[in-house]
Amino acid sequence: MAESHRLGDTVDVEVRIAATPQTIFPFLTDRDKMLTWMGFDGELDPRPGGIYRLNVKPGSVVSGEFVEVVPFERVVFTFGWEGEGQVVTPGSTTVEITLTPDGDETLVRLRHYGLEGEMVERHTEGWSFFMPRLVIACQGGTPESYQ
């Protein structure tokens, strides 16, 4: 279960996964593994300046670029939605995901910075939906289709 908090203009979602950071990390950086829990198509180049682009669902494409990639510890990328009229535009916000070992589990903490107004609530709902899917995928399960 995802635990989420609203911190001003920041979304903070935490999950515990019965897996090591070495198991979880590829689900944040490998295109095929990421698509098991978020999206149906995309392109990832997990290095500073590399592309982060996912077709989350038909008509909803998120894009940005990787800012920091520390194997088995941390991934940071910019984030926003493509298309006319989007409030959160490509690359306009930042997502930071950290992996902290804790016994036989790993605490996965996602913080999404730079959101304003109702976008904080909308992205809290979105990440609270996707993070439990990450838990399922990392533990060898298959999240239900959401498209």
DSSP states of 56-107 as a string? EETTEEEEEEEEEEETTTEEEEEE-B-STT-SS-TTSEEEEEEEEEETTEEE
pLDDT at 6: 47
Does a structural domain hold residue 37? yes
User: By C-alpha distance, which of 73, 94, 81 is closest to 29?
Assistant: 73
Q: What is the CATH number of the domain that holds 132?
A: 3.30.530.20
Q: How far apart are CA 59 and CA 47, in angstroms?
A: 26
- What total number of domains does the chain contain? 1
Q: What range does the domain containing 8 cover? A: 3-138
Does a structural domain hold residue 115? yes
Does a structural domain hold residue 13? yes
Does a structural domain hold residue 147? no
Does a structural domain hold residue 23? yes
Does a structural domain hold residue 145? no
Structure tokens at 84: 């006319």
Q: How far apart are CA 2 and CA 134, in angstroms?
A: 10
Per-residue pLDDT of the chain (147 residues; tens, 9 = 90+): 666 554 558 999 999 999 999 999 999 999 999 999 999 999 999 999 999 999 998 889 999 999 999 999 999 999 999 999 999 999 999 999 999 999 999 999 999 999 999 999 999 999 999 999 999 999 999 988 655
Does a structural domain hold residue 146? no
